[in-house]
Structures are given as C-alpha cells and as structure tokens.
C-alpha cells in the first residue's frame, strides 16, 4: 500500500505507516474541532470585526467588540464557538460573544 493511501481503517486518529504498521495519533483532528463554523453567523465576514488591530484601545475597541457581539448574539453556534475558544485557549478576539478579557477572567 502506498503512503497516504486509505487502508480501510475507519478512524480519524489512525493511519498506516509506509512500512505497513498501524499508527495512532494522540492529536484530535482539526476538522472536527472546527466543524461548527459551517453554521456560524460570522462565516465569510472580515476578521477585523472580531480581532483588534495593533494598539486599539478605549472607545474604538469597545465599539468593535460591541459590533462583534451583535453578530454573535443571534448566532446558532454561539455556545460552540465560546466553548472552542475556552477549550483551545484563544487569547485574542471575540469568540461566541466573549472578549479576550472575559475569557481570561473566567480561568
């Protein structure tokens, strides 16, 4: 069997090494961690709505965060997004309607 060829093993965290051995990975497939994004209200929007530019402070930051929260509030996957940010320790941006500071304060 050629390297990278599907072996019939039906598991995301297993594969076949070039020498034919079955190998297991301890990493979680990224696709599964991100699949909720397909239904996200922010899909296709500019990241600048959710992530601050360098040195953004004060009222400008609050306006941007409020705009991001307005998108998040009605999002069907808001809690999935928020859980992702907390699970994977996203340090920057608005995720699931929560800001960097809010997530930092929860931990």
Beta-sheet strands, E only, within the chain: 14-16, 22-24
Number of domains in the chain: 1
Domain membership flag for residue 62: yes
Residue 57 lies inside a defined structural domain of this protein = yes
| Predicted structure pTM score | 0.69
- For residues 16 and 80, give the distance between their C-alpha atoms in angstroms, rounded to a whole number: 32
Task: Give the pLDDT confidence score for residue 6 in this predicted structure.
Answer: 44
Residue 99 is assigned to a structural domain of this protein:
yes
Q: Is residue 52 a contact partner of residue 68, using CB atoms and an 8 Å limit? A: no
Domain boundaries, position 92: 40-106
Residues 18-55: tens digit of each pLDDT: 787 776 666 666 677 788 899 999 999 999 999 999 99
């Amino acid at each position: 069997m050629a390297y990278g060829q599907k072996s019939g093993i039906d598991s995301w965290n297993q594969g076949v090494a070039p020498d034919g051995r079955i190998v297991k990975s301890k990493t979680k497939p990224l696709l599964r961690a991100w699949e909720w994004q397909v239904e996200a209200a922010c899909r296709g929007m500019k990241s600048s709505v959710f992530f601050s530019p360098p040195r953004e402070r004060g009222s400008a930051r609050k306006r941007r965060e409020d705009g991001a929260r307005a998108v998040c509030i009605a999002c069907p996957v808001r809690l999935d997004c928020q859980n992702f940010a907390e699970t994977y320790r996203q340090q920057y941006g608005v995720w699931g309607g929560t800001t960097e500071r809010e997530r930092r304060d929860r931990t």
